[in-house]
Amino acid sequence: DTAVSQTPKYLVTQMGNDKSIKCEQNLGHDTMYWYKQDSKKFLKIMFSYNNKELIINETVPNRFSPKSPDKAHLNLHINSLELGDSAVYFCASSQDLYWTANTEAFFGQGTRLTVV
């Protein structure tokens, strides 16, 4: 009964390929996110979606295209992968888009993407 689940956990692929990472949450939350953790372990938001609508796009290259078929799913598709895309990608969710003081974020286990 994992709250936020991502697949795959590991992904190794060659430069130039297109790949997708899937994320599902069973918490009934309205808002989902993608975060990227770089080689220095710094976590930074990439996208947020609320009820299938894109809210935040943090100057991410347009090779990255999130897709939200319903509010429980937020997938990340990456075109023409580059070496610099190697990182750990985390999916997360929260109840609301605009937080209150007790809004909490829940994270998936991460997908380690390695581009060779």
Q: Residue numbers of the site for another protein (CB under 8 A)?
A: 31, 33, 35, 40-45, 48, 50, 55-56, 58, 90, 92, 94, 96-110, 112
Q: Is the distance from CB of 94 to CB of 65 less than 8 angstroms?
A: no
Query: How near is the Cβ of 100 to another protein at its closest, in Å?
Result: 7
Nearer to another protein, 65 or 106 (CB): 106
Q: Which residue number, 53 or 80, has a Cβ lying nearer to another protein?
A: 53
Other beta carbons within 10 Å of 6: 24
Query: Which is nearer to another protein, 78 or 89 (by Cβ)?
Result: 89
Contact 110, 37 (CB under 8 A): yes
Q: Which residues contact 47 (CB under 8 A, 6 or more apart)?
A: 33, 34, 54, 56, 57, 58, 60, 64, 66, 74, 76
Which CB, 44 or 82, lies closer to another protein?
44
Smallest gap from Cβ 86 to another protein, in A, equals 15
Least CB distance to another protein at residue 44 (A):
7
C-alpha span between 52 and 38 (Å, rounded): 26
